Amino acid sequence: MSDEDHRRRIPRTDRLLAHPAVREARERIGDAAIRRIVEERQRAAREGRVPIEEVEQAVVDALRAERPASLVPVLNATGVIVHTNLGRAPLSEGARQAIGAAAGYVDVEMDLVSGRRSARGAGAREALLQACPEAEDALIVNNGAAALLLAVTAVCARASERDRAIPSEMIVSRGELVEIGAGFRLPDLLVTTGARLREVGTTNRTHLSDYEAAIGAATGCLLKIHPSNFRVQGFTSGVDVAALRRLADAYGLPLVVDLGSGLLRPDALLPDEPDLAGALRAGADVVIASGDKLLGGPQAGLLVGRAETIRRLAKHPLARAVRSDKLTLAAIEATLRGPETPVQAALHADPARLRERTEGLAARLAAAVQGPCEVVPHEGRVGGGGAPGVPLPGWAIELPEAMAPRLRAGAVAVVARVHRGRCLVDLRCIPESDDELLLECLIEALGDAGAAPRSAPRGLGSR
């Protein structure tokens, strides 16, 4: 058969575009993406990489697999609850529904009674104040870094107004100037405010006298930052919020406290993790936290504190640049008003129930693949910089390390923990309703491997 005859047998573009699968795909993806898929399969047929009789089915399969966005939903089997690489906090069902409702036209800045413009995100602000009554006022911006940037910029600007010839300074303990994920360093952010960074104390020890000795005419604020992702132990000392409040009052200075993790109230499971309510009671003018960590909501920066301070922040020009969108505001409000979040459910998961689920799943998996499948102790973590070093006792199904990439590449992606040559599947962050789905994924991965799990040393060390 000649090359010309071969090409004539390839399905025409108009015929492929008339396929019912194309009409269905148009509800999810645009015509440009559809034509690209059709043309790629036709070209593959011309080059002999796809049999001509399989072109139509190849187009259908590609269209069904095409996603409107590249993000892939995964089952988090790492045991890390607030996993930054997996999008941090999974949203509650109420928050997901709220995002869907807010995706169209909504009254984000309109009073429907009067028809006039209203305050943006009033419902989310009110929900945050109800959840944290210690706060006089609240403001929500697009993330935690933005909240810190806005707070420091606005309060230090007040000091600059008093004497424009002297650059304002923020005083902070050297041991609190941390680097977090992806090489992000807080000092680099803070100096972009235009204020000078005045470091006091040492990496491991800072005293109240260090702060007081640094106070001068240029001082714009006292800044306290809760360290993330690490703990300093041994010969250490720091200054708590209450002591800094007394010092700030003595010199007429604002006190900004960045807590990071977003714990609203004390949690017995995390005894060393500071909370917003406690910091406000201790006297902070403004407290900063992230919405997508222990709060269990979307990415957002939460600022709560004294009414005068929050009003000053809200009126600053930078507030417009870092404001939250309508989807975030809807999700934050639904998170705060709703029942227990997935983050809280995973954090307070019953270890006995986790073991029961894990052992039951392992037994069914072993029967399906006709091989041993061991359950081992496994310590989960809060993640996202929250409660560093605090173990969350649990259990994991132990598989060969080679199973980890197979699980990630499955029809439903499963991300497990790889540690010391083993693939560890922890059910802490997986809703119980997804246990059957997880079992199917495990059977598929082990079936593709053509071998049953091998045994490996029991137990886990610390991270």
Domain boundaries, the chain: 3-65, 74-86+345-449, 93-338
Section 359-388 average pLDDT? 94
User: pLDDT of 19-34, one tens digit each?
Assistant: 999 989 998 999 999 9
Distances (CA, A) of 453 to 285, 373, 436, 447, 458: 56, 6, 19, 10, 14
Neighbouring-strand partners of residue 323:
141
Q: What is the pLDDT of residue 456?
A: 35
Average pLDDT score over the chain: 92
Q: What is the pLDDT of residue 460?
A: 29
Q: How confident is the model at residue 231 (pLDDT cuts 50, 70, 90)?
A: confident
User: 74-86+345-449 has which CATH code?
Assistant: 3.90.1150.110
User: pLDDT of 25-61, one tens digit each?
Assistant: 998 999 999 999 999 999 999 999 999 999 999 999 9
Q: What is the pLDDT of residue 148?
A: 96
Q: How confident is the model at residue 3 (pLDDT cuts 50, 70, 90)?
A: low
Is the domain defined by 93-338 classed in CATH 3.40.640.10?
yes
Burial class (CB in 10 A: 0-12, 13-18, 19+), 161: exposed
**Percent of the chain, pLDDT > 90?**
83
Section 92-98 average pLDDT? 98
Q: What is the pLDDT of residue 159?
A: 55
Question: pLDDT at residue 417 above 90?
Answer: yes
Section 153-159 average pLDDT? 83
Question: pLDDT at residue 393 above 70?
Answer: yes
pTM: 0.88
Question: pLDDT at residue 6 above 90?
Answer: no
User: pLDDT of 166-203, one tens digit each?
Assistant: 669 999 999 999 887 777 888 999 999 989 999 999 99
